Amino acid sequence: MKKQYLVLAVGVIAVSFAAIFIRIAEAPPLVIAAWRMCLSAVVIIPAALIHSRSEFTSLSRKDLSLMLLAGLFLGLHFGLWTASLSYTSVATSVILVTANPIFVSIVSYLLFKETINRRIIFGIIVSFIGTIVIGCSNWSLGPNPLMGAGLALLGAFTVAIYLLIGRRLRQHTGLLTYSSVTCGSAAVLLTGAVLIGGFELSGYSSITCGMFGLLALVPQLIGHTSINWSLKFLPATMITIAILGEPVISTILAYLILGEAPAVPEIAGGILIFGGIYLAFRNQ
pLDDT of residue 147 exceeding 60: yes
Choose the most confident range, by mean pLDDT, from 29-33, 258-262, 266-270.
Answer: 29-33
Confidence of residue 283 (pLDDT cuts 50, 70, 90): low
Highest mean pLDDT among 91-95, 159-163, 265-269: 159-163
Confidence of residue 110 (pLDDT cuts 50, 70, 90): confident
| DSSP structure string for 155-189 | HHHHHHHHHHHHHHHTTTS-HHHHHHHHHHHHHHH
Indicate if the pLDDT at residue 117 is higher than 70: yes
Indicate if the pLDDT at residue 55 is higher than 70. yes
Residue 239 has pLDDT above 90, yes or no: no
Lowest-confidence region among 65-69, 153-157, 221-225: 153-157
What is the extent of the structural domain holding 97? Answer: 3-281
Say how many domains are in the chain.
Answer: 1
pLDDT in tens, 126-140: 878 887 787 676 656
Rounded to 10 degrees, the C-alpha dihedral 19/23/24/29 comes to 100
User: Quick one: pLDDT at residue 140?
Assistant: 60
Model confidence band, residue 143 (pLDDT cutoffs 50, 70, 90): low
Phi-psi region of 259 (alpha: psi -120 to 50; beta: other; left: phi over 0): left
Amino acid 219: pLDDT = 95
